Amino acid sequence: MRVCWIGIGGNLGNSHEVFDVAWDELAPQLDLQLGLRSGIYHTSPVGQHAGDTFSNAVFSLSTTLEPAQLLTRLQAVEISLGRKKNVRWGNRPIDLDLLFVDQMVMDEPSLTIPHRAAWYRRFVIDPLFEVAPALRHPLLNQTITELKVRLSTRPLIIECLDSPPPQSVDLTSRFPDARFVTGGKPASIGFQLSGVPLATTGEGVPIADITNTPGGTNQRITDFLTSVLDEPQRVSDW
C-alpha cells in the first residue's frame, strides 16, 4: 500500500467540525486506511479573495488506489462538504490537497506529486513537522525538518530568478523578515515568475514555481511571501 500525506484546510464555518466530518467520510472506505494526523493550526489567508484566517492540518493514509483515483475521492469529500471552485484561491469550507505519495514523482496536467508548493508553505510544513519530521521530499532530497529550518531562518534570503527583480515591488514594510538577492548571490530559497520551472538552482537552493498562481506580479509575490513567512499558530489537537 502507498503511504500518502494529505493537507486539509478551510476558513468557512467551524473548521474543526468540518475536519472531523471529512475524516469520518474517509474512514469507512475499505481501500483507505487512515493514519496519523497533526494538530490544527491557524494561518494567514493566501490569495486576494481568500478571506479570513484559515485552519490547517495534515494527515496520512495508506491505500492501494492510484494517485488520480485518490484525488477523485478527496474531491468528492470536498464537494460533499460544500466546496465550490468558482473563485481560485477563494474562501472555502474545506480544501484537501494530495501532498506526497511515498517517494513518488509525477507531473501530469491534472496532478503533480509531490505538490508543487508543499515544500515552502508553512501551513503545510509546520503540521508535517509535528507528525512526520523525517519525511523526505523526493525532488529536493531534504527532510521536513530540514525544510522547516531553512524557512525559519531570519532574515530569509530569497533569490528572484526573473527580471526585473522584486525590489520594484514595495513589500519591505509588509515583510521585514525577507531580503531579496539576484544574480546567484547566496540565498536560502528562490522563486520564479516565468519560464520553465526549476526545482533548484545550481547551488541546490530550492526554487518555488509561482508562474501559474493567481493574480499579477505584486499579488503572486505577496501570496508566496505570506506562505513562506507566516508563522502558523497551533490552536488545538485534532
- Domain boundaries in the chain? 2-236
* pLDDT for residue 173: 78
Amino acid at the residue 103: Q
Residue 214's pLDDT is what?
A: 87
What is the distance between the alpha carbons of residues 137 and 30, in angstroms, rounded to a whole number? 28
Contacts of 74 (CB under 8 A, 6+ apart): 6, 96, 98
Please tell me the predicted confidence (pLDDT) of residue 199: 81
Q: In angstroms, rounded to a whole number, what is the distance separating the alpha carbons of residues 186 and 194?
A: 21
How far is the C-alpha of 57 from the C-alpha of 207, rounded, in Å? 24
CATH class of the structural domain 2-236? alpha beta
Taking only the tens of pLDDT, the chain with its 238 residues reads 999 999 999 999 899 999 999 999 999 999 999 999 999 999 999 988 878 999 999 999 999 999 999 999 999 999 999 876 765 665 789 999 999 999 999 999 889 999 999 999 999 999 999 999 999 999 999 999 999 999 999 999 998 887 555 555 567 778 899 988 877 678 999 999 887 778 887 778 999 999 888 888 888 889 999 999 999 999 999 9
Assign 3-state DSSP to the chain and report helix, strand, coil percentages, each to 5: 25, 30, 45
Distances 78 to 71, 168, 213, 222 between C-alpha atoms, Å: 11, 39, 21, 27
How would DSSP label each residue in 44-60? ---STT--S-EEEEEEE
* pLDDT for position 218: 83
Round to whole Å and give the CA distance between 220 and 208: 11
Give 195's contacts (C-beta < 8 A, 6+ positions apart).
161, 162, 211
